[in-house]
Amino acid sequence: FLSVARDTFQRVEGIDIVVAFDLSTSMAAADFEPRNRLHVAKEVLKDFVSRRTTDRIGLVVFARDAYTQCPLTLDTGILRALVDQLRFGVIEDGTAIGNALATAVNRLRESDAKSKAIVLLTDGDNNAGQVSPLEAADMARTLGVRVFPILVGTDGPIHSSPLIAEG
């Protein structure tokens, strides 16, 4: 794809990545004392974004439902600023992992990148939403999108099942 930067065009060949970020209240658990899961996940994500200068990255946030916070972008500064603003209570509580993955897959549907991935940052089990995590993983597999689940936390409500979808 082409990137426009200060009146010049540059060809960028990177990965298209959508991060699905859990904003459920269980992310308030302070098992990284004195920090909670949300704080630690935000810091790790901002560091990750800073190092991915040739990849387009988008952000989907979720709790009881999922929403696109940022479409795919090369602008790491704006994406880090949006991550800084993430907080609880904006979305009704719950953990709709399937909806989050489906929303992230939808963001990648029109991508022409050679490699597409979803990074799922969550601390718990799916307990909300209309799409099951396995249905969403199948959608990802069909489109050749790899899903990388990252569990956040050291104890508490962490229950996981493998969701790797390889294309």
In whole angstroms, what is the distance from residue 100 CA to residue 159 CA? 17
Residue 143 tokens read as 């489109």
pLDDT at 167: 39
Residue type, 31: D
pLDDT at 161: 38
pTM of the model: 0.85
Residue type, 128: A
How many CB atoms within 10 Å of residue 54?
11
pLDDT at 2: 46
pLDDT at 8: 52
The secondary structure of residue 81, as a DSSP letter, is H
* Sheet strand arrangement including 145-151: 66-73, 56-62, 16-22, 116-122, 145-151
How many CB atoms within 10 Å of residue 144?
14
Find, among 14, 35, 34, 1, the residue nearest to 112 by Cα: 1
Residue type, 13: E
Residue type, 15: I
Tell me if 93 sits within 8 A of 121, measured CB to CB: no
In whole angstroms, what is the distance from residue 61 CA to residue 18 CA? 10
Question: Chunked in runs of 10, what are the mean pLDDT values of the chain (167 residues)?
Answer: 49 85 94 91 96 96 97 96 95 96 97 96 92 96 96 64 41
pLDDT at 153: 87
pLDDT at 139: 97
Question: Is residue 108 exposed (0-12), middle (13-18) or buried (19+ Cβ within 10 Å)?
Answer: buried
